[in-house]
Amino acid sequence: EEQLVESGGGLLQPGRSLRLSCTASGFNFADSIMHWVRQVPGKGLEWVSGISWNGDNVYYGDSAKGRFTISRDNARNSLYLQMDSLRTEDTALYYCTKEAYFGGNWFDPWGQGTLVTVSS
Amino acid sequence: QSVLTQPPSVSAAPGQKVTISCSGSSSNIGNNYVSWYQQFPGTAPRLLICENNKRPSGIPDRFSGSKSDTSATLGITGLQTGDEAYYYCATWDRSRGAHLFGTGTTVTVL
């Protein structure tokens, strides 16, 4: 069974940094395009960032550009999201998910999410 | 604010059919695959439809997808109380260089 488990969320003040992690199992992580998607409680889904199988190509949504950095460690089957200069509007549940193939535009599976709360 | 527009809510009686529209443009839906997701409160999204109209293994054939020009549609037939959830469309936008999710639609079974 393909599985993704996020971790690293927490409560922190504006301006601080946080690194989220996602550990994969049940599929060939090293061949997979991976993404972060977030959801403000009670609101819709927002794509945050994506990374190619080897990390050479990274993509960011407008809200993440210049502040967030996506990376991966294929030896550890792990995906990361380094979030700097956090703002209150970054408060959300952050999901890790896999894209079937480049251009497929579909995401499966999804992790359970890790909650990031930014508040003074 | 997403550029993929969905109706906020749709509803129908058990056994009936609902359709959910997802309206975009030539830079997104018009030239890219569309996928659909179901989300129950407190849970992660679940893939329902990929590549405009394909159902992954385990998804009932009551769920269907279609695409025409710059719009996509999710159909649910034989509506059940267990279908009450939020539904989102998604695709790639080549102008923005970003994946997009629709605004989301709540399905209510009357």
Q: State yes or no: pLDDT of A101 exceeds 90.
A: no
**Facing residue for A105 by CB, picked from B90, B97, B104:** B90
What mean pLDDT is predicted for residues A100-107?
86
How many Å apart are CA B4 and CA B17, to the nearest integer? 22
Strands B85-93 and B35-39: antiparallel
What mean pLDDT is predicted for residues B70-98?
97
What pLDDT score does A103 carry? Answer: 80
How many angstroms separate the CA of residue B59 from the nearest CA in chain A? 13
What mean pLDDT is predicted for residues A107-115?
97
Tell me, yes or no, if B78 comes closer than 8 A to chain A by beta carbon.
no
Tell me, yes or no, if A89 comes closer than 8 A to chain B by beta carbon.
no
How many Å apart are CA B101 and CA A4, to the nearest integer? 20
What pLDDT score does A104 carry? Answer: 82
Tokens of A25: 């199992």
pLDDT digit string (tens) for A39-88? 999 999 999 999 999 999 999 999 999 999 999 999 999 999 999 999 99
Buried b (16+ CB within 10 A) or exposed e, A61-81: bebbeeebbbebebeebbbbb
What mean pLDDT is predicted for residues B18-35?
97
Q: State yes or no: pLDDT of B73 exceeds 80.
A: yes
Record: contact A95-B46, CB cut-off 8 A: no
pLDDT digit string (tens) for A14-45? 999 999 999 999 999 999 999 999 999 999 99
What pLDDT score does A93 carry? Answer: 98
Tell me, yes or no, if B101 comes closer than 8 A to chain A by beta carbon.
yes
pLDDT digit string (tens) for B75-87? 999 999 999 999 9
Q: Confidence band (pLDDT; 50, 70, 90) for B3?
A: confident
Phi first, then psi, for residue A78 (nearest 5°) are -130, 145
Q: State yes or no: pLDDT of B34 exceeds 90.
A: yes
Q: Confidence band (pLDDT; 50, 70, 90) for B98?
A: very high
What mean pLDDT is predicted for residues B90-95?
95
Top-confidence residue, B1 or A114:
A114
- Least confident residue range of A1-5, A101-105, B84-88: A101-105
Record: contact A105-B101, CB cut-off 8 A: no
Residue B29 burial by CB count (10 A; 0-12/13-18/19+): exposed, middle or buried? buried
What mean pLDDT is predicted for residues A96-110?
91
Q: State yes or no: pLDDT of B2 exceeds 80.
A: no
Chain A: residue whose CA lies nearest to B100: A47
Tokens of A14: 């504006």
What pLDDT score does B1 carry? Answer: 59
